[in-house]
Structure formats: structure tokens, C-alpha cells
Chain A
Amino acid sequence: MRKYLARRAVYAVVTLLGVSLSIFVILRVLPGDPLVAILGVEGHARMTKEDRVRIMADLGLSAPLPVQYARWLRDIGAGQLGKSFFRGDTVAELIAHRGPITAEIAVLALIVSWIVGLPVGILSAFKPNSMPDGVARTLSVLFIAIPGFWLGMLIVLALLFWFGWKSPIIIVHVWQDPWQNLQIVMGPGIVLGLAQGAYIARMSRSCLLEVISEDFVRTARAKGLREGLVVMRHALPNALLPVITISGVLLGFVLGGSVAVETAFGVPGLGRSLVTAVIERDIIVVQNLVLLYAVIFVVVNVLVDLSYAWLDPRIRYS
């Protein structure tokens, strides 16, 4: 097990180095001048070449690219993650302040996806081609197809025009005011959760359909066990592995989707920070946030792999 973990850790580090290098290069290759955001249109227009050289040096952008990359890795190693080169706020502060909101949204989305997706999948699998199955399949396709940001905007507008209500406009953490906090994360969490729930429903349906035709399920039924017991004790645990795998993958989609959905709901989470940083060409913030998302994705995938051994006694890592 330790060997397996060490091997996965090495792979993870290599993957993250690859991600860091890619995002570093992409951000430097993309056109766009951060000085427009810093100086504004008028200031940018009046800037001399000398001013540009000086400002770029101040921002640490005039050093050779390998030096800039090495400095970034050094900052990561020191846990500093660098500073937004606009206002001087550190990226670590940004993550500490906004990260919890995005994390809550992701967890809520995951919970919603399981609460909605799994029962629907079970119902569909045990009543295949029935009307409830048809409705469930139609709805799942619908939620997969509908873009989260669009649904988010509809919900925001409906709440606004029908009830004159909008969620709080600044971050309120769960430890500061749980009710206000819930109002912030609820909308994006549900929208993202419904989309992921549709995938869970489809995956659990197909896995269960496969499992319930197995001999051990037939045997359970032949023993005279109640259908509920057959499903919960025998069929479901054996159908869950692929669902757990897809949940890990979906968490990545949730993080990616949060960028658009947070913007649609006006939630000041990390996703929205990423959007603003891209617009401002605040490359220090962008590269650190993208790397953070990559770290989360890698860690979740390792955890998912490890959970297999716990869920299925046949699987052992050595």
C-alpha cells in the first residue's frame, strides 16, 4: 500500500509540474497586456517605452521566463503563491477568503448529485422502460444539456422579478452566519448538483441494470428477500464503483462549472476570481488558481482510487 501511495505521489507531482509548466507558458504566450488594466486606457496610451520597462520590472515580468518559472515554484514551495500584481493582495489570502465558498458549493453539488441521481438511477433500473424511467431519463438528458450558467441566470432572474430577492452580495462564511452563507451557496450548489446528478442517475441505472441480471441477485430474490433489501444490500454496493469513479471526475467538472455558475449567480468564489483575473490578465492569480484546481483534481482522483479497496474487498493495492 505504501509503495502504491508513493508511486501515486510521484505521478501526482509529475502531473502537477506538467500542469504548472503548461499554464505558465500559455499565459505568457497569450496576447494581452496587463498594463491596460493597471494604467487604464488613457494611462496605457500615454505610457512611454521607458515607463513600460520600469513597470514590467516592478511586476517581475521582465526577468527571463525560466527565472520567472523558478521563482513561482519557489513561492509555491514557501506556501506564498505570489501576489496579485495589481493590488498587491496575496493569492494565499484570496484562496483563504474565497476558497471556502467554492468548496462549499462543490460539496453541496456533490451531495445534491447523489441525493437526486442515485434514487432516480435505482428507480429507473428497477422499473426499466416504465413511465417513471422515461421521465427520469428525459430529465437527466435535459439537465446534462442545459448549461449551468444559463439555468443559474434564469433562477436569479426568476427570484428577482417574482420575489424581489437576491442572495447576499459579499462573502459571508458559514462560521459567521450560516443562514446567509447557505443563501449564497445554495443556488450554485443545486444547479451544479442537478447537472452532475443527471450523470450519476444514468451511470447508476446502467450499472444496476448490469448487476441485477447477475446470479447473486437472482439468488437473493430466490431466497425470498424483500426487493428493497436485494437492492440496498446486494445490488447497489456492487454497482457503486463506477458511480464513485465518475463522481471523482465530476468533481473536476463541478470546479470547472463553478467558474461560469458563480459568475451567473454573482457568488464571489474562486471561480469568479479566476474569471476576473483572466479579464485583467492577472497572470499570477490565474496560474495559481489553475494549479490549485489541478491539485484538487489529482488528490480527488487518488482518493477515489483508494476508496475502491475499501468498497471492494477483492481490490488490494500492493
Chain B
Amino acid sequence: MSDHASDPKPTVDRRTFLKRVGAAGAGAAIAARLPFPGPAAAQDATVRPDPAAKRGGTLRYAVHNAPAHFDVHQSGTVANIGPQSPMYDTLLRRSPKDGQTIIPDLAQRWEISPDNKKYTFHLRKGVKFHDGADFTADDVKATYDRIKNPPKGVVIPRTPLFATVSDIVVVNPHTIEFRMSEPRPKAYMLGAFASGWNIIVRKKTLDDNQGNLRQVMNYPGTGPFRHVSRKDKEIWIMERNPDYWNKGLPLVDKLEIYHFLPFTPELGAAMLSGRVDYARLLDPVTWRKAKEMPGVTAANFNQSVIQAFWTNTQKNKALADPKVRRAIHLAMDRHTLVEVVKDTAPMQVGGFVYPFHEMSTPRAELEKKLGYQRDIKPAVQEARRLMKEAGYAGGLKNLDFVVRDIPTFKLWAVAIQAMLKEHLNIESNLRVVQTSVWFDEAQAGSFDLAISAIVSTLMDPSDIFSAWYGKDGPQNYSRWTNPVFHDLASQIEREVDDAKRRTMVRKAEDILENDPPLIPVAYEQIYDAWYNKVKGQNPSTFFGIYDVVRWDNVWLG
């Protein structure tokens, strides 16, 4: 459905189709031979149960610590998505088969106008919230109005994705239009609508709680599972929703979601001892052990996180110089840095755009570039030349290096400190601070160098170009500006032709290489493992852990 429904040409819905066929006096047989797919194809793309699936049983799933609050829209962590996703639906979703293809969810089908400025969603009928209320377009409008314009005191990280949505119009109870002030690439907008964060919440729920659901534990969704009980920081129990609109799903009767801190031995122990059936965010040591265990499958996949190193361009004159930042960028021995943390967290080398994104420089090509090669001598030589050219041949002294108090960053900080000293004679003083302090310091600009990780909602370069590298980007901790880049990023955001966009993204990468807004250290991977009795889930091709966490198609063998 997604391919066709998102194409403006074949916008023939069932009713129109039947009218046309009737008018032409054609029979049903002719209709069946029509070359373009109608709604039947859309229905086919909806998640369907595996014919071999067995029903029943309890799936015990371990993921992240308990959420800090219950408002999924306001959250940015898997602590919410992990346990709460199974209770909700989105307009569109990523297929659980590959984690990439966008397929229908509460929107049975959709149309995009030829100018890419109007998205029309046709909603499913007969869908009910867990409290028995009917789902209508008003709920979609209330949800997206809130995401686009959060009320005071409500912060929604996905708000910028819908910045160009000018109007959300309810056409009828089961049709809704999103009108945009200017076009955006289809992949970008459909990705935003399919984001696991943008769950559809009942209008009444939002009205009753003044638009803030932070402390509302059990607000009704339309999802495959219903809330049963929760013990804070221990377990969240859900049961099968017998009135789920997608008949035949979900396949398991009960979900038990256990809260564990990621990458901890405790989570690993729960998995290896068989106390849980499926564990997410395992540490590498446990994951390798699980991989060797009979009856267990282990998979790794890409996460929407960059591990980065910021240089404060406003506080420190030397760091404002692109040559110095380029030199620091080149002085990083990235392959060694990945190796340093291999028993703590799984990582991979990458540049300024997700290394696995189709528009980024391919890995083989990237590894030929200075700064990404296994042999770092040429890069260090160039880095020293740049430092000399910038007037800092003698290096820099007493840089305040703020390190987030997490094992990975502490290991890296020591290694980076040594690399900078050895390669460029840059001396820094490590200051390890608790996570919440780190973000305070980063936002206040109280650092020279800082290391941490940041996330994006979409893999699309435009999302990271605005959030990470944008002039006023919320995660542009270096306070970096480059008018040429910002102009190009703005063009990339508007460009709807994929080929042209790819060329522009490569050009943007070149700008970032020479004037780094941050120094990419590595890109995270996620390690999952599960006992083979868990069927229907393999995240190997997934991107991130936020979009495909519904468990509706999973069954126990």
C-alpha cells in the first residue's frame, strides 16, 4: 500500500473505483483485471498473523528502566516506548517484518497531493479505544494538534517534524487532511507519521488532563494490548485486547514487560537464566554468551543515536577555528575507540550522517577518507599541519572536558584525552558529571570539550541537520554556525527529488568534514537476544528501538 497510496497517480479508493466501474457498465471481472492496485492492496500491507502462528501464552520481555512519566508524546526514551507502545496505534507504522517499510495502521490508506502539500488519511472504521469509545478523525486531530503545538509546560521532541503542517482538517469522522505550508520529501513526512512516538490518543483524554499526560498511567489507546497492572521499576503487565481492530491479532494473551537498566549484568542475568524470553539493550558480553547458547537467537541492529564529542566554539577562541576542529576530528582513532568499548557497548564507525543511511557516504568510501582510516598516520599528519596553520602548533592547554558519567563515555574520555595529547599536544582536564548535570552544562555552554550521545527521531538527514547541526538546533551544543551549510540544509529539507537530495547531502557532508559542528565518535548498535520459542520478531534490519515495539505479530512456539 505505501508505495501506491503514497503515489499521487493511483488515488482510486474503493467507492470511486466502484462508481467508475459502474458508470462504464463493466463487470466485476474487469475490475479485478485493472492494472493499478486499489484498497485491497492497502489491506494486504496491514500486519497479518503468521498462518503458522500458535495463539496464547505469556511473553516476558525485558527492556530499559521504568519510564520517568507516562506521556509518550513528551518522551524521548525507550523507557516509555518499550512498555507503552503495545497499548497504542499510530496513523502509519513501520512493518515489523523489516522495520523499514511504511504500512497502514489506523490510517487504512493515504493520498499525497501532486504538489506534496496535502496528505489525506482515510481512517479505519469500527476501531475502539480500550475504554469502549469510538476512534474518529477528531482524535487524530487532537493528537497532532498537540504534537505540533504543545500546550504550555508540555515539551514534545517531535514538534519540529510537523513544522510545515499549517492546518489539520477533519473532512469527515474517518478522513483527515494535513495541509502544509511547503512541501517536504515524502519519506521524511511518512516517516514522521509512522514514528512510534506519535501514538493516537483520545481527544477526551487530552481535554480531561489539560493536554498533559505525564502522570496519567493508564490512558486509553486502540492498541493490541490493554493495561492490567504495573509495579514501578519492576513490571508492567498487559493483556490481549479482545476488541482489537486487526482481527486475529495480537497472538499472545499476555505481555509481561520487565524494567532493567540497559547494558547491565542484571539484565543479562535475567536473559541468560531464562527469567525473560526476550531482552533488548544487552551488554556485549551477555550478547556474545547468548549467541553461543543453544535455543537462543541474538541479533544486532542500528540505533538512532550518535556518540559525539563537542567543542565549544563560543567559549574558546581556538575551538572556533574550523581548522582546529578539523584537526581534532582527524586526530581521533575511531577504530580504536570502537575497540575500547567493545565489552561495554556495541559501536560502529561513522561520519556526520548515519553511516547506514542510503544518502550518506558508503562505508567503503568513508573508510578511505582521512579520519576514518584504520591507519591514522596520514590523518594525524594532516591534523598537525592544520594546527600549525591555525597558529596552534604548540597545542592547547587546560581545556575543560566534561564527561557524562556513563561507562562508555568515561572509557572514551580517557582515550580521547590521550589521543589529543599525543597527536596534537592538546591538554584537557576531565570532569565527570552525572547525566542531568551534563545536559545542564552543555546547554549553558560551560565546557570546552564534552562527550555524550544524542538521538534523532528519523534516520532522514534533514532531521539531524536541524536538531544536531541547525543554527538554533536544540542539540547543537558547540553553538556552531555555518551559513553555507544552513542554507544547504534548508534546501535539502525542501527537495523532494531523492537523487538531487542525495547529491546535496553528500555536499553537506563535505562541509561538515571541513568545519565540524561536533566530532562523531561512533554510532551505537542495539543487541537483542531471545529464546527461539519467540517467533515473528527479528530486528536485524530495524533502525532504532522506537518504531517497531508493538508485539502484535509475535507468537510463542
Contact = CB atoms under 8 A, between A and B. Distances in A.
Contact of A168 (B75, B76, B233, B275): B275
Nearest to B197: A42
A299 to B, nearest CB: 27
Interface stretch (A32-40, A114-122, A226-234): A32-40
Contacts of B215: 87-88
B497 interface: no
A313 to B, nearest CB: 49
Contact of A164 (B70, B233, B266, B272): B272
Interface in A239-294: 266, 268, 272-273, 276, 279-281
The SS class assigned to the A binding surface is helix
A179 interface: no
Given A45-B475, A87-B67, A170 B231 contact: yes
Contacts of B21: none
A79 interface: no
A281 to B, nearest CB: 5
Contacts of B457: 42
A97 B77 CA distance: 26
Given A160-B272, A276-B233, 10 more contacts: A32-B437, A38-B214, A42-B454, A42-B457, A43-B74, A50-B152, A94-B232, A97-B231, A169-B276, A170-B258
A39 B266 contact: no
Chain A interface extent, by class: 35 or more
Contacts of B155: 39, 43-44, 46-48, 51
B153 interface: yes
Contacts of A156: 265, 269
B455 A38 contact: no
Contacts of B273: 160, 164-166
Contacts of B69: 38, 86-87
Contact of A41 (B231, B235, B439): B439
Interface stretch (B12-20, B341-349, B428-436): B428-436
A87 B455 contact: no
B544 to A, nearest CB: 13
A153 B232 contact: no
A44 B265 contact: no
A84 B153 CA distance: 18
22 contacts: A32-B436, A33-B436, A33-B439, A35-B436, A39-B76, A41-B455, A42-B457, A43-B155, A46-B156, A50-B152, A84-B232, A87-B66, A87-B67, A87-B69, A87-B217, A160-B269, A166-B273, A166-B275, A169-B270, A266-B266, A276-B65, A279-B434
Contact of B436 (A34, A88, A94): A34
A215 interface: no
Contact of B68 (A33, A38, A272): A38
A51 B153 contact: yes
A31 B440 contact: yes
Nearest to A32: B436
A32 B434 contact: yes
Contacts of A279: 434-435
Contacts of B434: 31-32, 279
A103 interface: no
A160 to B, nearest CB: 5
B437 A31 contact: yes
Contacts of A280: 68
A312 interface: no
B355 interface: no
A41 B157 CA distance: 9
B146 to A, nearest CB: 14
B131 to A, nearest CB: 20
